[in-house]
Every structure is written in structure tokens, then in C-alpha cells.
Amino acid sequence: MDGYAACCARYIDAGETAPTAEVLMRSRYSAYTLHRADYLLATWHASTRPAQLDLAGEAQTRWLGLEIRRHEQADACHATVEFVARYKVNGRAHRLHEASRFVREGGQWLYVDGKFER
């Protein structure tokens, strides 16, 4: 079984609900690498979700990896996941370091927003 099938295919392709905010974060990262705006929007909280997500410009982005630095669950419905995502655009390396907030509504974890870290 490849990494995608073991990690995230059941959430992105088969519609299973991610059991934790960390699992949702990993699946959202995979969705970005696959340009799956439908999944990203479906797992984004309605209060902060954009009307649409244009990933056409992402074709130049080559995702290199995701490192989860911290997963804190404040209570049954609130969690924070701090991560670093590494990627290249036109051969130039970048990193996105964010502490993301998640809420659980109706049994489903949803991304709310994130604070960029240094």
C-alpha cells in the first residue's frame, strides 16, 4: 500500500471522516498536493471558507513534505495543529510554518484558520 492510500485516500476519495484534527491536517496537505479544491473546501469551516479556491497557479508548486510539530486538543471540539510544509516553486525552496485551528461540528473536524509562525 502506498503512502497516499495508507494516509489519506479514504478521507479524500472515499469520504470517510478524519478522526482527529491531525489526521485532517495530513489529508488537507495531501489534497493541496493533488489540487483537490473540492476536499479542501468541504473540510473548511463555513465562517472562514472562501467562496472558491483556485489552485490553477499551484501547478508550479512541488510539495516536498509535511512535518507535524504539535497537535493539541483543547477539548472534544477544539484543536490546534502546528506544522511545517516544505515546497518548491520554480526550483526555489519555501516553507510554510503555521499553527492551524480546528473545530469539530457534527462529528467532523474542520479547518478554521491559521497563524503563521516563524
Q: How far apart are CA 19 and CA 113, in angstroms?
A: 19
User: Average pLDDT for residues 45-66, to the nearest whole number?
Assistant: 89
Q: What is the pTM of this model?
A: 0.92
Evaluate if residue 6 carries a pLDDT over 70. Answer: yes
User: Average pLDDT for residues 94-112, to the nearest whole number?
Assistant: 97
Mapped onto helix, strand or coil, the DSSP state of residue 48 is coil
Give Cα separations from 83 to 3, 5, 59 (angstroms): 18, 21, 22
Residue 93's domain comprises 3-116
Residue, of 90 and 56, whose pLDDT is higher: 90
Per-residue model confidence (pLDDT) at position 1: 53
Tell me the CATH number at 19: 3.10.450.50
User: Average pLDDT for residues 3-28, to the nearest whole number?
Assistant: 95
- Domain count across the chain: 1
User: Average pLDDT for residues 95-105, to the nearest whole number?
Assistant: 97
